[in-house]
Amino acid sequence: MATEVTELRARASGVLRENWRTGVRRADGLAYAYTCPSTPRYRHQWHWDSCFHAIAWSHFDRARAEAELRTLLRSGRPDGFLPHTVFWGWPAGWRRAPFYATGRVLGATHTETIDPPLLAVAWERAGPAGDVAALEQIAAHLDWLARERDPDGDGLLSLILPDESGLDDSPKFDVVFGRYAHYKPSAALLIEQCRRLGYSARRIAACGELHVEEVLVNVAYALSLHAMARMTGEPSWALRAAQTERGLVWRSLDPATGLFFDLAGPGETPVRVSTWSCLAPLALPGVPDDVKRRLVEEHLLDARRYRAPVGIPSVSMEEPAYTPHFDRWRNWRGPSWVNTAWLLVPALRALGYEADAERIVAPLARAALREGFREYYDPRDGTGQAAKGFAWSTLLVDLV
Ligand code: GLC
């Protein structure tokens, strides 16, 4: 195992270096340094990808980890908004541009939408300690989310488009977004509608349009609020984290199945599709242990649901939509991703399921050694799928 870990680390560092991009943006003269997820498919900077990259970089080169996070901090607006995707070296290509939720279709420097807010988590792991100015900027970002994305003030953030969850084509969005689902051509119409409403969650909700209190984004948010509490020593952050955790337990937790479901639309209807985000609250310190054990015993470790030979399937194997093989047009519908294991495995270890945690990590690490760092893997046999040299898959170095 020791030589395998050494090999895995060497290859991870190789992928991160290969994908490293630096320069100055022509449109506004801003300097950038970040890891692109994978070329040629993903050339831009994605918010949650960069958080993962920084954590992986912190194992090899803390200066690059910090530079990547500072680039994220430069990517937004003074009011605290930080975008889902940032275009540094190149604007979005004309064919893809209508599918990016930007202010104008051509020539935008970033999207007007959010991504799972993991910046405070990444800063605590990979940023320098005691940088008051950076912490103030991260605080402004979390305040923006509370102000703009929690219109009903219940501590749970709302999404306006499915890819704000990072789980673009997950089958949990099929029912909610229907013909506007992220992988359908009409997705561009939904983006156009959000553009007309200024991407304001409040205006979108007031028009009776779609919005979703999505579990994964709220888990990321609560984790970041906890990280802020530790980094600043200010108890108000911990109170905000607890409010979000309570919101999830009281409102998203389904007593019948023990799963956490997204709440969709004005009626906050539970979206009863079992995908890995239903298990994500395992990572939260404020979720009671009995709720977590149920998630583990009845779902994560159940061979009919999420216990697969390689990694953690992104959709329960029991769901009709579960698709373990590569699907050219859709993602997050079955294959195992490394960031999923990265979020859930430490929680499993903390609850004492050490052997099960190993059973998830070791086959994923073997798959990465055999197939390279791929975007995701077939849960049945670890066949690598989709993008090659995919940077956040190097998070495995944080798990082994
Ligand atoms: C895909 C993933 C998304 C990720 C992006 C860049 O769209 O669904 O989560 O951020 O690729 O890697």
- Give the pair of three-digit tokens for residue 335: 């294959």
Other CB atoms within a 10 A radius of the CB of residue 54 amount to 29
Ligand 1 centre distance from Cα of residue 166 (Å): 6
Ligand 1 centre distance from Cα of residue 101 (Å): 14
Ligand 1 centre distance from Cα of residue 49 (Å): 7
Q: Look-up: residue for tokens 């219109």?
A: 151
User: Measured on CA atoms in the order 335, 290, 115, 232, is the torsion positive or negative?
Assistant: negative
- Give the pair of three-digit tokens for residue 138: 């991260």
pLDDT tens sequence for the chain (400 residues): 789 999 999 999 999 999 999 999 999 999 999 999 999 899 999 999 999 999 999 999 999 999 999 999 999 999 999 999 999 998 888 888 889 999 998 889 999 999 999 999 999 999 999 999 999 999 999 999 999 999 889 999 999 999 999 999 999 999 999 999 999 999 999 999 999 999 999 999 888 777 899 999 999 999 999 999 999 999 999 999 999 999 999 999 999 999 999 999 988 999 999 999 999 999 999 999 999 999 999 999 999 999 999 999 999 999 999 999 999 999 999 999 999 999 999 999 999 999 999 999 999 999 999 999 999 999 999 999 999 999 999 999 999 9
d(CA 278, CA 269): 15
- Is residue 131 a part of any domain in this protein? no
**Closest residue to atom 3 of ligand 1, CA basis:** 166
d(CA 269, CA 85): 29
Domain count, the chain: 1
pTM, two decimal places: 0.98
Q: Could you tell which of 49, 182, 217 is best to mutate to test the pocket of ligand 1, judged by most ligand atoms within 8 Å of the CB?
A: 49
- Is residue 109 a part of any domain in this protein? no
Radius of gyration of the chain (CA): 20
Ligand 1 in contact with 49 (CB < 6 A)?
Answer: yes
- Is residue 328 a part of any domain in this protein? yes
Half-sphere exposure of 320 (CA within 13 A, CB side): 2
Ligand 1 in contact with 37 (CB < 6 A)?
Answer: yes
* CA 190 to each of CA 30, 101, 113, 184: distance values in angstroms, whole numbers, following the listed order: 31, 9, 13, 10
**Closest residue to atom 2 of ligand 1, CA basis:** 166
- State which residues form the domain around 358: 301-400
- Is residue 158 a part of any domain in this protein? no
pLDDT of residue 264: 95
CB-CB contact of 176 with 213 (8 Å):
no
- Is residue 329 a part of any domain in this protein? yes
Q: Give yes or no for a cis peptide into 40 (omega within 30° of 0).
A: yes
pLDDT of residue 2: 87
- Is residue 249 a part of any domain in this protein? no
Strand 212-213 versus strand 45-46 pairing type: unpaired
Ligand 1 in contact with 46 (CB < 6 A)?
Answer: yes
Ligand 1 atom with the smallest distance to the CA of 392 is 12
pLDDT of residue 94: 84
- Is residue 167 a part of any domain in this protein? no
DSSP 252: I
- Is residue 398 a part of any domain in this protein? yes
CB-CB contact of 94 with 32 (8 Å):
no
Q: Could you tell which of 34, 46, 52 is best to mutate to test the pocket of ligand 1, judged by most ligand atoms within 8 Å of the CB?
A: 46
**Helical residues (DSSP H) of the chain, grouped into ranges:** 2-18, 47-57, 62-74, 119-126, 132-149, 172-177, 187-196, 201-206, 215-232, 235-247, 289-295, 338-350, 354-371, 396-399
pLDDT of residue 1: 73
CB-CB contact of 386 with 374 (8 Å):
yes
Question: Among candidates 150, 100, 182, which has minimal Cα distance to 263?
Answer: 150
d(CA 155, CA 301): 30
